[in-house]
Amino acid sequence: MQLRIARALLLLHGAGLALPSAAAWELTGSNTLRIESYHVDGDKRYSPYAREGTFVYNDIDLSLFGSSTPGQTWRFDFAGTLTDSPYRSVHSGLVPEVMRVSYDNATAAVPFRVDLGDQNVQFSELTLSRTLKAARLTLRPDSGIDGRSYWASAVVGSDGQQWRDFDPTADLYHGFSLGLQDQRLGSYSLNVVHNSREGSGSLADADQWTASLTAQRGFDVAGQRLNLRGELAYFHGDASDGRSDSGLGYYLQLDGKSGQSRPLDYRLRYDRYSSGFHPHGSAAPADSEAILAEGGWRFRQDAQVRGRLQRSRTGISTADPVVTDSAGLSVIGPLLPGQPQKLVGQLDLSLQTRESESNHVDMLAKSVQGSITVNHSPRHQSRLSGSMATVDDLNHPGVERVTRQFAVGHTAKLKVRGLDLTVTPGVSITEIQTQDSEITMGPTLAISASNERQRLLLEVGQSELNATDPADDVEQARVSLKYEIRRGRHSFGVDLDRTLREPSEGEDTDAWRAGMYWRYDLGKSLGGAG
Amino acid sequence: MPRRIAALAAAALLWAGVVQAQVPVDPTVARQAVERVLAAWNTPELGHWLATDFVGRDQLLATLNFDVPPSARLRILAIGGVQTLQQERRGNALVSLVSVTVRAQAEWEQPGQGLQRREGTAEYILRISREAPR
């Protein structure tokens, strides 16, 4: 294992050394070697850890950015692990996780950019918005008009894949996007995306096309800075179940800010997607519509109020659509006008209902959450928080679920022999009341100590679950400790985590995780000015 | 350099002002950020971390309300690759979209059945703002 890690590091350093000598390059990243051991005593069925043993992995994270000549930039990214730990990866051995090369040329006759490897491709919300392993070419021809730019981008890439066992055809996208951005006229784009997906499990093979037009324009009206944008998309092809279908989807959104100092912001949005609209590259749900209104007002002295209303309907083409209504209000601000930092309060209210036309589904959820933070001094702070949430299935009276939570804690920041010490003791109580009732309560303690070189974090928690049937009572204790010391670019650390579960009957479960690591941070300039 | 984790972000059109990520976000910062967000999973505080432009925001909160056991919490098993996807300068802030891959398991105590756990791997997109001089 150690030999393989060393070889991988040498190869990666070698890539950096082969650069043109006249270049200005910045290398950043780190290498972390970690050893972890998992051990469980007692009833292993109820351990949080599925596997016991000692595992080693080495994480490598490298990023190289630079310019070979003025106007031409390169970027190389690599992140991966060399592992035998089932907790780190489902694979063992060398597991590349992020590999990317980007080249941008702003001085060519037609400025362009090439991206190869892992990248976030965001053509539009309704056609393609995915992190793909892909090749992409983007051209930015000179418009010859001040404040206007054009782009054309073509991509081919695969979704949901890992570099190990990479199957580019399993979920393959081809896409093309063409657009313009103008300071006065706004931004407009045309997007065309093809996706082919191999079936697996209950999913059939699918082959589909999606095309869309997007438009966005900002304007000022009566002191309001507004931004209007929308998209209209057409889908044709196979849905995930293999059925051939076609349909339209669109959304329209208006957001704005008001006033000289812009204390008010707001957003209105409407979405509608037909039953035949199934693009894999989008998160838009078929056969649905939604309307949203939200806004916020920022007062002086850091006070803020925000509200949000949403109605969404799913299954709108069916005889029994389901309507979900959401309303939320959030207020945060100082409670003592003369001393805005002394006492800060927060209140969140939310209401959600889910109801079908036939009343087959009829659910109601309400929640209220509040907190008060008392800043006694720069070194002492107390916080009280509480919440109550009710979830009720209105078709089944008597199955209402009420969750009440209360927590209180105090944070003291001390300076002890050059160490910044933070101690946070507290107590939390959670009651979940259904037909039965269970209460989980116990103390918590967090201690952190740090200076320029070292950092220690200790967290202790204990809780007791009192179920309706005393045979189901469980006591739990959890301790976690993290310590790290830095010397130059080197960091050494230790993690310990213990979870103890003690049911009133049967065997206890005592689960341990102990880990230690060494990290080497890179940060290096590799050449002179280009 | 002060940093702020704005929210869990969704896909957005970011052609204007988007540049190649020249200053990748420190992976340690991204890991600490995702730890804070996932600590709030299935609690009333999660809503504060979700971006208002996250497409599945209300869907996710409704699922947690109606379908997930209220005592369920996430335990992070391992944090994998961290990738700075895009960077955009907004005034004095450098706003980065960062992808973090996390292996985590949901755990909850089911009376009569003991500790339950469900494991999964997911990619989280974080929007991290850093104050940056002009």
Over the stretch B58-77, which tens digit does the pLDDT of each residue have?
778 878 877 888 888 899 99
Residue A496 makes CB contacts below 8 A (sequence gap 6+) with A479, A480, A481, A482, A512, A513, A514, A515
How distant, in Å, are the alpha carbons of A87, A454, A492, A494 from that of A449?
29, 8, 16, 14
Is there a contact between B27 and A61 if contact means CB atoms under 8 Å apart?
yes
CA angle A366/A367/A369 to nearest 5° reads 165
With a CB-CB cutoff of 8 Å, which residues 10-39 of chain A face chain B? 28, 30
B56/A contact by beta carbon, under 8 A: yes
A400/B contact by beta carbon, under 8 A: no
Output the pLDDT for position B22. 62
How distant, in Å, are the alpha carbons of A430, A471, B68 from that of A441?
6, 18, 20
Q: Tokens in use for A231?
A: 């998209």
Output the pLDDT for position A505. 61
Output the pLDDT for position A320. 92
- How would you classify residue A100: left for phi > 0, otherwise alpha for psi between -120 and 50, otherwise beta? beta
Q: What are the φ/ψ torsions at residue B37 (nearest 5 degrees)?
A: -65, -45
B80/A contact by beta carbon, under 8 A: yes
A383-400 average pLDDT score: 86
Over the stretch A415-446, which tens digit does the pLDDT of each residue have?
888 889 999 999 988 888 877 777 878 888 99
Q: Tokens in use for A12?
A: 């990666």
B62/A contact by beta carbon, under 8 A: yes
User: Strand order in B18-19's β-sheet?
Assistant: B3-8, B114-131, B93-110, B73-90, B18-19
Asked whether B3 and B133 are in contact (CB, 8 A), the reply is no
Of residues B111 and A63, more confidently modeled: A63
Best mutation target, B48, B58, B108, to test chain A (most A CBs within 10 A): B58
Answer positive or negative: Cα dihedral of A129, A132, A137, A140: positive
Secondary structure string (H, E, C) spanning A205-221: CEEEEEEEEEEEEEEEE
DSSP structural state of residue A145: S
Is there a contact between B66 and A365 if contact means CB atoms under 8 Å apart?
yes
B101/A contact by beta carbon, under 8 A: yes
Cα separation, A465 vs A279, whole angstroms: 45
Which chain A residues are Cβ-neighbours of B16 within 8 angstroms?
A: 181, 187
Is there a contact between B56 and A283 if contact means CB atoms under 8 Å apart?
yes
Is there a contact between B11 and A430 if contact means CB atoms under 8 Å apart?
no
State in Å, rounded, how far the first CA of chain A is from the last one. Answer: 39
A39-67 average pLDDT score: 91
Of residues A412 and B81, more confidently modeled: A412
A74-99 average pLDDT score: 92
Is there a contact between A120 and B114 if contact means CB atoms under 8 Å apart?
no
Q: Which helix (H) or strand (E) holds A8?
A: helix A2-17
Q: Tokens in use for A87?
A: 């907790």
Distance from CA of B96 to the nearest CA of A (A): 13
Residue A49 makes CB contacts below 8 A (sequence gap 6+) with A38, A40, A511, A513
Best mutation target, B23, B42, B66, B75, to test chain A (most A CBs within 10 A): B66
Position A65 confidence tier, pLDDT thresholds 50, 70, 90: confident
Which chain B residues are Cβ-neighbours of A48 within 8 angstroms?
A: 75, 105, 107, 115, 117
Q: Which amino acid is at B133?
A: P
DSSP structural state of residue A282: -
Distance from CA of B106 to the nearest CA of A (A): 10
Q: Tokens in use for A463?
A: 């809780």
Cα separation, B122 vs B79, whole angstroms: 10
Position B21 confidence tier, pLDDT thresholds 50, 70, 90: low
Is there a contact between A97 and B62 if contact means CB atoms under 8 Å apart?
no
Output the pLDDT for position A200. 79
**SS3 of A161, please?**
coil
Output the pLDDT for position A259. 66
Is there a contact between B61 and A326 if contact means CB atoms under 8 Å apart?
yes
A115/B contact by beta carbon, under 8 A: no
Output the pLDDT for position A506. 61
Position A321 confidence tier, pLDDT thresholds 50, 70, 90: very high
B15/A contact by beta carbon, under 8 A: yes
Asked whether A49 and B77 are in contact (CB, 8 A), the reply is no
Asked whether A45 and B114 are in contact (CB, 8 A), the reply is yes
Residue of A nearest to B55 (CA): A283
Whether residue A17 has pLDDT greater than 60:
no
Is there a contact between B58 and A98 if contact means CB atoms under 8 Å apart?
no
Strands A186-197, A244-258: pairing kind: unpaired
Whether residue A511 has pLDDT greater than 90:
yes
Enter the ipTM.
Answer: 0.79
B85/A contact by beta carbon, under 8 A: yes
A175-194 average pLDDT score: 94
A212/B contact by beta carbon, under 8 A: no
Is there a contact between B83 and A77 if contact means CB atoms under 8 Å apart?
yes
- How would you classify residue A399: left for phi > 0, otherwise alpha for psi between -120 and 50, otherwise beta? alpha
Position A15 confidence tier, pLDDT thresholds 50, 70, 90: very low
A248-274 average pLDDT score: 90
Position B134 confidence tier, pLDDT thresholds 50, 70, 90: low
How distant, in Å, are the alpha carbons of A195, A208, A209 from that of A244?
14, 9, 11
How distant, in Å, are the alpha carbons of A451, A452, A485 from that of A418?
7, 9, 15
Give Cα B50 distance to the centre of its chain.
8
Distance from CA of B114 to the nearest CA of A (A): 6
Asked whether A461 and A429 are in contact (CB, 8 A), the reply is no
Strands A24-42, B3-8: pairing kind: unpaired
Output the pLDDT for position B13. 34
Is there a contact between A61 and B82 if contact means CB atoms under 8 Å apart?
yes
Is there a contact between A469 and B21 if contact means CB atoms under 8 Å apart?
no
Which chain A residues are Cβ-neighbours of B121 within 8 angstroms?
A: 90
Q: Which amino acid is at B87?
A: Q
This prediction has a pTM of 0.82
Q: How many CA atoms lie within 13 A of A164 on its CB side?
A: 13
Asked whether A320 and A354 are in contact (CB, 8 A), the reply is no
A518/B contact by beta carbon, under 8 A: no
Output the pLDDT for position A463. 81
Residue of A nearest to B78 (CA): A88
Cα separation, A433 vs B113, whole angstroms: 18
Report the percent of chain A where pLDDT is more than 70.
93
Shortest CA distance to A408 belongs to which of A442, A431, A383, A430?
A383
Best mutation target, B25, B32, B59, B121, to test chain A (most A CBs within 10 A): B59
Is there a contact between A468 and B65 if contact means CB atoms under 8 Å apart?
no
Is there a contact between A467 and B111 if contact means CB atoms under 8 Å apart?
yes
Shortest CA distance to A390 belongs to which of A351, A428, A437?
A351
Cα separation, A113 vs A66, whole angstroms: 14
A127/B contact by beta carbon, under 8 A: no
A67-84 average pLDDT score: 90
Residue A365 makes CB contacts below 8 A (sequence gap 6+) with A350, A351, A352, A353, A389, A390, A391, A392, B62, B65, B66
Distance from CA of B78 to the nearest CA of A (A): 5
Nearest to A102 among B10, B20, B66 (CB): B20
Nearest to A125 among B11, B24, B85 (CB): B11
Residue of B nearest to A215 (CA): B13
A104-126 average pLDDT score: 92
Nearest to B58 among A46, A312, A403 (CB): A312
DSSP structural state of residue A18: T
* Lowest-pLDDT range of A24-28, A117-121, A466-470: A466-470
Over the stretch A195-224, which tens digit does the pLDDT of each residue have?
999 887 777 889 999 999 999 999 888 888
Residue of B nearest to A51 (CA): B77
B123/A contact by beta carbon, under 8 A: yes
Whether residue A383 has pLDDT greater than 90:
yes
Position A242 confidence tier, pLDDT thresholds 50, 70, 90: confident
With tokens 């919440």, the residue in question is A387
Whether residue B126 has pLDDT greater than 70:
yes
